[in-house]
Structure 1
């Protein structure tokens, strides 16, 4: 792995690479229930929703090549859940399993604390043991499994929910 890793907030110029990496995740059927590749317009709208307020998108790159991205997403629009963020993390196919996710997740946790979230939650396929290992190393715990939560390629799939308390006080 390159020692020239940089993690930074995403810009509008990053959207095409974010889209390509996200679409790899959709194609590979290991990280999202989405089945339809995202268009430029889809990613533009998604970015606009994340580029305001407390939500954020971070990218990890080496020598100006994007290797992955992560985002803090709305968990719920109800006021009671304003301190809870959902997360997404995607690594470019050829870079998976090389430790980039750990760096990116640590930076995302710091951004969540900075933006006053007290908890991060995520959903992961039961079959995504690589992702679950990453989350457990970073202190996430399994909350439970939703059986038959979604459909991928015409088959029901079970989804595990995990969470991490960030240690912030309410208010």
Structure 2
């Protein structure tokens, strides 16, 4: 099957919301515990800066299977060239290479938008996610021990980065 990436638009919100809520339910990629409404995610999409794009991955019919976003790393202007990012894949499509395609598209978009570095925070236990990032030449910076609380348990968070220059 062929897949395509493109910049997300407001019509994509129902799919982005569904996929994000699967990620929240599965507890492998976010410390968020409350499901989001389409209204929540519409505000999230429309209140982003012009350079912090959201990308979706679709099949040839336009069905959305995942999304990725460039996020603000830090509001201080000295960090304006650094973007945090998120990637979420529809539950039944994980492990099929869509994350690599989305990450490649996200990197190209980040360069086009003037970012020189991407950073992320991943659950230390998320081996599949860390494998994806390492396969795309991200390096582990370190691990915060007991950094975030999820279901009453402290979880370790691994920080990774990649220079785009």
1:60 to 39, 49, 57: 57
State TM-score, norm by structure 1. 0.94
TM-score between both structures, scaled by the size of structure 2 = 0.97
**Partner Cα separation in structure 1 for residue 38 and residue 11 of structure 2:** 12
Residue of structure 2 equivalent to 1:47: 45
Q: CA deviation at 1:49?
A: 2.3
Between the two proteins, the alignment pairs up a number of residues equal to: 164
Please report the RMSD computed on the Cα atoms of aligned residues, expressed in angstroms. 0.7
Moved over 6 A (4+): none
> How much does 1:30 deviate?
0.2
SS at match of 1:33: coil
- For structure 2, the residue ranges without an aligned partner over 5 or more in a row are none
Q: Find the residue that maps to 1:17 and give its secondary structure.
A: helix
TM-fit CA distance, 1:48: 1.1
Q: Deviations over 1:74-129 (max 9, x none)?
A: 00110110000000000000000000000000000000000000100001001111
| Deviation at residue 39 of structure 1 after TM alignment | 1.3
- By how many angstroms is 1:145 displaced? 0.5
Matching residue of 2:29: 31
